[in-house]
Structure formats: structure tokens, C-alpha cells
Structure 1
Amino acid sequence: MINVESHRVTPYIFRESVERVRACRLCDEELPLEPRPILQLDQAAKVLVVGQAPGLLVHETGIPFNDRSGERLRDWLGVDREDFYDATKFALLPMAFCYPGSGPTGDLAPPKRCASTWRKQLLELLTDIKFVLLCGRYAINWHLPHLRNQPLAFSIKSTYESQSPTLAAPHPSGRNNGWLANNPWFEQDIVPNIQSRVASAIQRDA
């Protein structure tokens, strides 16, 4: 996983790093709405969920995955809202932290500047992650660049069959309803594996 010694990340360093992200205004002139970085982090987190970027409802509420995508995601994970929003269990770190706006086919892609500015240093803060779920192509491409040009189904099966602690998945957005309908093996075979890994990770220290 993330090769950083836990004693190097003090509570002060962790708090200051997260506060800098929450105060970020780098994309102020490019975003359709005022920047509002949304993420959930705690040093004790056991599961890292990587999404795309906040949607409009998430931007308005300030709560990650507080929408229908989140409902489906929590079903995949096998957890309720209480566990999901427990930062000591789940780190929620999308590829971009602010709502990017929408286009003709849905929300725009997460701005690359966000990941290039913040991502590496934030991942280094998470020293106790046991399982990583990459939701969607943007997350897969960044975290697993060797799968960048591969079909989504191949990426998912590859990470599943290798028993890697990092597993690829479709984004839980309704835009993927068609893909899920055409690939029933994901919810039949992969989702139970996700639930088992999550349960093991968040109950490890219980």
C-alpha cells in the first residue's frame, strides 16, 4: 500500500495538510461555482474510496457521495451511512475536490490540476489503508496507469484476479446503468468480494 511510516505523519501535519486543501482556490476562475473542496480523511481510515468529482448536490450539501451514486456505492460496499461517513473507517478522496460543472452528457471531467497539486501528498497521509476501491476510469487511470488503455471490464477483472488490495470498479453513477446491465457479473461476483474486503478492513481493529 502507501509506503510512509506512520510516525512521520503527526496530527499537526495531517490537520494542516487537509486544511490547505479545503482552502484551495486554484481553479476559482475556471469553475462554474465557488470552489468548495469536498473530501473525507482521517489518519485511522482503513478503506480508501476514489471517485471522480463532486456532483451538484454534493457541492450544495458539502457531503461526499450524498446522492444516488452514493446510495449505490454504499450498497456495493455493504455499509450504511453511519459507517460510510465514519472517517476512521472510510477515506473519500475523489480525483478532484470541487464540482467541475456540467456539459451535454453530464458532469465535466475532474480538472487534472487538482490531482497534480494535491493527490500524492494526501495519499502519503493515509498510512493504514487496507483496501482501495477505484470508482471509474479517471480514478483507474491515475492510480493504475498500466491499465489506462484497457477496457473497464478488463481493468476490473485484472485487479480482482490478481487479489490486489486495489480494486477497479465502474463509477456508481446512473450513467453506468447500461454498463451494469450488460455486465451482470460485476454485481454477482465482484460486489460480494468488495463487501468481504470492506468488512475485513473496517472490523480489523474492532
Structure 2
Amino acid sequence: MPARTLDHLLGEIRSCTVCAPHLEHGVRPVVQASSRARIVIIGQAPGRRVHESGVPWDDPSGRTLRRWLGLTDEQFYDPDIVAIVPMGFCYPGSAASGDKPPRPECAPLWHERLLDELPTDRLHVIIGTYAQKRYVPDRRKNLTDTVANWSAYLPGTIVLPHPSPRNQHWLTKNPWFEANALPAVRRRIAECVADDASR
């Protein structure tokens, strides 16, 4: 896709109002991509802080995610390195125990058009249950079992839990994630960054 055409598509996404009647805080689609990005992060939906700033993963969850991936802020926010394509592009609002689920309209409406224009040898970083349900067809019965099976999805896919501070109990209960999965995750991410630098 020529850069100007991709820019047009991103403009369409950022001006989308399809879900406006369901978004109590208003529409503010958050997306990052370029036709060179070989690392594609597919998570849940922006939280309140990201809704306010317009910067993806601009919150404590994002700081944890960058640490997990071994990426600097500069690398993470370089669209030629990382594309950020959430399951829902807008903040869905809060519920009793966290944020509401991502709006179901977004992924069917935009993902295929956007992902089809990214490099075919891209690495998918799939974060949380909602993204796993769509992008990990052979996932296990629950998120923990799927993430525990992390090595089976490499080299093309990395599966992660959500890096929210609310998941600290999960991390404490599953020490293998930090000890075994994350070193392999960082190696795979570093390979992609090095490949990009050599092109």
C-alpha cells in the first residue's frame, strides 16, 4: 500500500464514529501503523488515560508492556517498528471491575483492511483474552493455559496476559511467565528490531 493510501486509511479510522452512541466519553480512536511495521501489537482497547492523551499504551500498563518486550519508548512509538491495532480503537468506558469490553464493531470493520497492508512476515503480539479469541484459533481453554503454551506460537505469534496492574496477582501466581516466557519474548522482539535495522 502506498504511504498516502495507508495514511488515508488511518485517517478513516481516526475519524470513525460508528460506535459513538455507545461511548459515554466520546470517540477518540487510537491507532499506530506504517507499511514497514513488523511488530503488531493487538490488545484490548484504550483506557481512560490513553483516551485523554491520545497516545497508545500511555499508562502504567504500557510501561509494563514495554519492559516485557524489551523496547524503549522511542522504539515502541516508532510506527516503522511497531503497529498498535487494538481490538477496540476507542475507550469503551469503565465497568464494576475494570474497563468495559472493546466495542465489537471495530475489529471486523477495520482490522483486515489494516493488517493486510502490513508486512507479511510480521510478528503478532496478542494481549489478553479478547485478542486471543480472534487471533489465536488454537488457543487453550483459558488465558493462563494459552500463555503457558507460549512457545508453541513462536516464531510468528507472542501471546501475553494484559500488563495491567490489576493482574499482579496473576503474575505472582505464575512465576514461570517472568522467568521463562519473557526472556524468549524479548529475544524474538530483538530479532525483529535487528532485522528492521538491517533492511
Alignment deviations for residues 146-183 of structure 1 (CA, whole Å, 9 cap, x no partner): 32x61212212334135341121101111211111100
**Structure 1 residues 128 and 86: CA distance shift in structure 2, 3 A:** farther
C-alpha distance in 2, partners of 1:138/1:10? 31
The partner residue of 2:195 within 191, 199, 204 is 204
C-alpha distance in 2, partners of 1:203/1:71? 22
The partner residue of 1:143 within 135, 140, 146 is 135
Q: Which residue of 2 aligns with 1:99?
A: 91
Identity over aligned pairs, percent: 37
C-alpha distance in 1, partners of 2:101/2:195? 35
CA RMSD of aligned residues (A): 1.4
TM-score, structure 1 normalization: 0.91
Say whether residues 1:160 and 2:148 are aligned partners. Answer: no
Task: Give runs of ≥4 in structure 1 deviating > 6 Å.
Answer: none
Code of the residue aligned with 2:69 in structure 1: it is L
Q: Which residue of 2 aligns with 1:20?
A: 12
CA deviation after TM superposition for structure 1 residue 123, in Å: 0.8
What SS does structure 1 have at the residue aligned with 2:149? helix
CA deviation after TM superposition for structure 1 residue 205, in Å: 3.1
Q: Which residue of 2 aligns with 1:190?
A: 181
Verify the 8 A CA contact 2:148 2:177 in the aligned structure 1. Answer: no
Alignment of 1:1-206 (within 5 A): 9-147=1-139, 150-206=141-197
Verify the 8 A CA contact 1:45 1:128 in the aligned structure 2. Answer: no
- Shifted more, 127-136 versus 39-48: the winner is 127-136
- Shifted more, 175-184 versus 62-71: the winner is 175-184
Which structure 2 segments of 5+ residues have no match?
Answer: none
TM-score, structure 2 normalization: 0.94
C-alpha distance in 1, partners of 2:154/2:121? 16
Which structure 1 segments of 5+ residues have no match?
Answer: 1-8
Code of the residue aligned with 1:156 in structure 2: it is V
